[in-house]
Structure formats: structure tokens, C-alpha cells
Amino acid sequence: MKLEIEHLRLAYGDVEVVKDLSIFVKDGDLLVLLGPSGCGKTSTIRAVAGLEEPKSGRIVVGDKVLFDGAIGVNIPPNKRDMSMVFQSYAIWPHMTVGQNVEFPLRMARVRREERAERVDAALQLVGLGGFQKRRSIALSGGQMQRVALARALVVEPSVLLLDEPLSNLDAKLRDELRFELRELQQRLGVTTVYVTHDQDEALALGDELVIMNHGEIIQRGRPDDVYRRPGSAFVARFFGTVNQWQSKVAAVTDEHTIINGVGSLEQFVVAGNYGTVGTNVSVSIRPQHIRLSRPGECDAELLEHAVIGSVVLARLLGTRIRYRINIGAGTTIDVIGGAESGQHFFDVGDPVVVELPGDSLFVHPIAATDVSTSEPSSTSTRSDR
């Protein structure tokens, strides 16, 4: 069933944590909610579940109005036919694993024999087959999270709400379950909202991605589109890893904008219009889009935005190498290159030609208020894949 959230506002006391938020999730789609800690992701899905009362707005599932501030409709959570995995798991410690998973079935008045079967199947699904009789306080964090997942999947809800459901699992299990979850979600065709911190998860799972900050939607779209074309300096920084600088528009031509460079790079020339001369802009580039070569190896004249730097730091990350390169004037830049044979390997201290291809650069005008929040040097939210 489709889920519509219209102009949702939610406040705790006087503090508004969700501000005029509208989201539409098509029937059977999975929407990923991504945003920094405290931006209101949990609050949003709690409002959808009926656990928080919004100040205003509308929440509709299928054609059933669950909440409408204008006409005073608010269906209580137990009548909303939803499933939710809580960020804190919320496993009931006084019940066994089986009783935990069985609870929603009991509430839905499913027959006893059928309940046992479905509990079995749900536990099997999350890799906890045979755990029915286990006491739930004797589980590890990851196991609890899987019980919570089984409890949410044991019924067929109209909407499935997942609040960082895989955050506490090891990388391998997380990959497996993520895949399982996506497969299952598509098979059942259950409309899902998935909250995460993890950009990999967002890329791997979502039909649609919504990026939030301070209770507002910053950007929405298909995850790979958002990754490729971040709509703002914040999104570029938050979704993926970038080197980011603040700069100013130096000159404008018919088709190009010339922007002050960084380090010993004099200027960037980019296609398109980014405002009049003097406009503050942020320039970002992902570390894996930067090309490195040895001086003299290729013709510097033919390269775009090329500058000579020296390697400050080189670290092997499995199949890739992460470099930090000084490009003059106290500016460093992070680069990720392949480590397969045939690729160059640079040592600390090596001189290196750094090329920033123009079509990989993201340029975003920055509002005056945004200036203070974006740091001048390279910013990495988390290590890239």
C-alpha cells in the first residue's frame, strides 16, 4: 500500500524536530531515510507508527487516513497495521525469543498452530532457527536485532518501518541480511521505510532515497542519482566522501564559470552558470575521481585542473590505496586509487601530478548560513568503500 506523508510537523515541547515534511512511497517500494544523527529520522517514523502525535499534517496509507491534524483524526498505533524495528531493538526481556516473535501474531488473533509455523519461518529467515525457547536476555546485540527483525517480518504489515535494523551486525552478516531483506521486501511487495546512517545500505537497498537534515528534506531521488549529482554541498559531504573547499566565482563567460582554485591550482573552469562574480561556492570532488600520475609521464598541458603535489600519507585499504597529497599552500587532498597490479604506487614524499577532471567536480552555491558549517579543507564523512 502506498504511504503518503504530507506537510508533517512534529515538536517536542517547543522544539520542532520535523518541519513540513512530505514523502510519498509507492506501493511496494522501499524508501531510505538518511541523515545525520538527531536530524529527526526516528521521530518521523515514530509519527508514521502513531507513537508520536504530530502538530499538523496528514499521514495516509493506501486510502486510509491514519492522521490528519486538520480534522482531528489519529488512529492509535495498534490499529495501524504496521511493523517496526526499533533502533534499541525493544526485545521484551521477560519473554523468550519465540514469545517475542509470536506477540504480533497473538494480537492479530492468528490460530495457535499457524503461529508456531510462522514464528519458525521468521526465525529461520533471520538465521535464528531453533532459538524459540531461548531467553531473550541471553542474546548478543546482533542476535537481538535479528529477533526484532523477525518480530517485524512475522506478520504482513501494510507498512514496514525499520530504524537502523542492521546497525549492530558484523559486516558479513549485514551484507547477507541486507540482501535477504531486500529480496523479501520485493517478494512480499511490502511498502517499507528504512532509516539508516550507512550510505552503502542506502545505495544497495533503496528504490528512493530521502536525505534529511534538521528535520527537513534536503534532497530526494534514486540513490545512485543522488550520489552522482548531489544537490548541495551538504549532500555531497554527507552522502559519500568528498574533498570540499569554499571558493568564490572569479569570472563568468557564456558557457563557463571560472572559480578561484585551491592550493597551487589557480582556477577551476567549469561548464554552467553558478552565479555572478563574487558568489560563494563550494567545490567538491570524490577521492576516487581524482587521477594521479608521475610527473613527466603525461603531458601536463593536456590535463584539466592539474597540479603538482607531494604524497603525505599512503595507506593500503585492501584493493585500494588511500593517499593524502599536499597540493601547496597548506592544502591537502584525499585520493583513492586502485592497488591492482599495473597501477602506479606512490610512496610518501613522491612528487605526483594530481588531476581533478572538470566533469567530476561538484559546484554548489552556498548560502551565507551554510558557510560556517562547511570546513575549508577536505572533508570526509566516513571512509569510502
**Binding of ligand ATP by 143 (CB under 6 A):** no
Please identify, using beta-carbon distances, which residue of 39 and 159 lies nearer to Mg ion: 39
To Mg ion, the closest distance from the beta carbon of 194 in angstroms equals 12
In sequence order, the β-bridge partners of residue 365 are: 281
**Binding of another protein by 104 (CB under 8 A):** yes
To Mg ion, the closest distance from the beta carbon of 162 in angstroms equals 11
Say if CB 207 and CB 31 are below 8 A apart. yes
Q: Residue 275: CA atoms inside 13 Å, Cβ hemisphere, count?
A: 16
**Binding of another protein by 49 (CB under 8 A):** yes
Cell match 542476535: residue? 143
**Binding of ligand ATP by 145 (CB under 6 A):** no
**Binding of another protein by 57 (CB under 8 A):** no
Q: How many residues does the chain have?
A: 385
Q: What is the largest CA-CA distance in the chain?
A: 77
End-to-end CA distance of the chain: 34
Taking the CB of residue 124, how many other CB atoms lie within 10 A of it? 13
To another protein, the closest distance from the beta carbon of 80 in angstroms equals 8
**Binding of another protein by 83 (CB under 8 A):** yes
Tell me which of 10, 41, 86, 243 binds another protein, using CB under 8 A.
86
Tell me which of 1, 29, 30, 42 binds Mg ion, using CB under 5 A.
42
The residue range among 35-43, 115-123, 140-148, 351-359 that interacts with ligand ATP, by the rule CB under 6 A, is 35-43
Please identify, using beta-carbon distances, which residue of 102 and 163 lies nearer to Mg ion: 163
Within 67-126, the residues that bind ligand ATP by CB under 6 A are 87
Positions in the binding site for another protein (CB under 8 A): 46, 49-53, 72, 74, 76-78, 80-84, 86-90, 92-94, 103-104, 107-108, 148, 151, 155, 161
Positions in the binding site for ligand ATP (CB under 6 A): 12, 17, 35, 37-43, 87, 197
